[in-house]
Structure 1
């Protein structure tokens, strides 16, 4: 049954009309289910997340260190998450101008700003060997870079920087430990800098290891240690790995791998998938402020609709339109007390603003 065959209803007998009615009803029912899930998802993002985030911050000392642990987990998980294949990803983002508010929610003068970013990632497998269970033992090189420009107006750089560059290079090793357990280890480094003020302090070493268990066909869960010198000397921090998905007419995904991502999607056509997606991203820079070495962090969370077009066998394009629901921008001392002391309920931040992104991915 197709839409073209039901244009002239009078020419069909009662049995055919019943089939046509069932066809229309099934289409409306499936669309209603998807719309209902979208409404639930928006409610969760708008009502539940804002309630949970302050609780998580207060209980687990939610701080800038989260960003650097995520960077290491992201690089560690590239090999496992992308199934040890060559990958090239290019992405550009835009967050429209919005007012800048302090930690108490008061506007800072007439300060406002937008965000424009361009990022790219490259993964090259160097060696891949499969065992009898089709599990890989692999070595890979991963390179990732992000440039962010903030067009701030009436806003001092004491509150927010204008340009930030992040770049990471790492060697990754992954191997199976058993039928369900696997290990991913990484060693590398990165540059996290304000483009107007580069120094050797902006170069940070990174390393870590994750032990991942395949709980079931839909869930990978693991943990381990992430090591960096963001405080000026090496320290280890706990890192969490989570990748859950459920496939069917509608696909659902929760991932704490390359980014924090929650999404629901449906296949509209053979070469078109429609996704409702929520993501968390960020950039940082080591700077000299008030005679001290500090960390500047800008973290932003977005939610939007994302059509994904399959342009060729290995080439896809994603276009996202939505809103930036949170964009924090703040400086923090590079001390243990600053990272693990009392964390405010709110950081200085930009207001809610429209968000747009375009990404192209090529993978073998």
Structure 2
């Protein structure tokens, strides 16, 4: 309980700037307990997961070119804290608590009427709180060349940088963003993750959103038998989320739905470990079963 109180206190202070400038959110997600199994159906206990998270983006330099296109610099602070209550072998195979925090500097710049460059660079701590070392600091970055195909549709390609597997690696990236506004809103976003959703305004204050698919996850650098490894957890959820808009920029929301995927794996921090993470015979891949997911939070500036 002391850990939860500290996290909530930090997130509360992080929320103070939200009411002056920028945009961000504070949220809590709870995934109910389910069994942990491998691809052969062998059981390894069970566990639930509570995630407390917050994000704040501050634009600190914005101007427009002669076409009215924005040229902007921004800083994003992100922090999430995962608290697991695992039983059986799942307790030894998964970290009890995980902290993921990062600071990124982003830049967007148009290079023509249709093309934009979106770039970001940063670093953060990804570890169990009791195992934070210099190896827990992971760098991340990327550059996307985005093309405005239509007014509400952007596509792009680029490359991302990470040292999650020990050596710095450059990986291909895809970018897709489509949104339709009006009484009924539709959105497909594949930029930092993946989200497909639809929403409608019930009145001037209440909005109802249905998210068909949304992906998220957490990761941590671990020491296993004296060897540095990377633990990763990928989740996929669907949910219904009503929100109440306090004013034009501030809203509170609830959400309930299913968490269909909570896959976990532990890989060596090497190029070979990266390749092996995609193989079907990876013995370190396990998955928690489908479970209920409930969430609540506050958004500002969206």
- What TM-score does the superposition give when structure 1 sets the normalisation length? 0.73
Aligned counterpart in structure 1 of residue 80 of structure 2, from 146, 149, 155: 146
Is 1:350 paired with 2:288? yes
| SS of the residue 1:269 aligns to | coil
Per-residue deviation, residues 296-343 of structure 1 (Å, max 9, x unmatched)? 111111111111221112101221101111111221111222222452
CA contact (8 A) 1:168 1:189 kept: yes
2:253 to 318, 321, 329: 318
Contact 2:165 2:273 survives alignment (8 Å): no
Shift of 1:180: 0.8
Contact 1:208 1:225 in 2 (8 A): yes
Tell me how large the CA RMSD over aligned residues is: 1.7
Match of 1:362 in 2: 300
1:132 corresponds in structure 2 to 66
Gap change, CA 1:209 and 1:194, over 3 Å in 2: same
Supply the distance in 2 between the matched residues of 1:269 and 1:126 (Cα, whole angstroms).
34
1:258 CA displacement: 3.8
Q: What aligned pairs does 1:189-200 form with structure 2 within 5 A after superposition?
A: 189-200=123-134
Counterpart in the other structure of 1:289:
224
Larger radius of gyration: 1
TM-score normalised by length of structure 2: 0.87
What is the rounded CA distance, in whole Å, between the counterparts of 1:106 and 1:250 in structure 2? 44
Aligned-pair CA distance for 1:198: 1.4
Deviation for aligned residue 1:103: 2.5
Displaced runs of 4+ in structure 1, greater than 4 A? Answer: none
Aligned to 1:299: 234
Does residue 237 (structure 1) correspond to residue 171 (structure 2)? The answer is yes
Structure 1, unpaired ranges of 5+: 1-84
Shift in Å, 1:157: 4.1
Segments of 5+ residues of structure 2 without an aligned counterpart are 1-20
Indicate the residue corresponding to 1:308 in structure 2: 243
Q: Separation in 1 of the partners of 2:133 and 2:250? A: 38
Which structure: greater helix fraction? 1
Q: Can you list the C-alpha shifts for 1:54-75, whole angstroms capped at 9, x where unaligned?
A: xxxxxxxxxxxxxxxxxxxxxx
Provide the residue aligned with 1:20 in structure 2: none
Aligned residues between the structures: 278
Counterpart in 1 of 2:31? 95
| Alpha-carbon distance in 2 for matches of 1:349, 1:322 | 18
Which is strand-richer, 1 or 2? 2
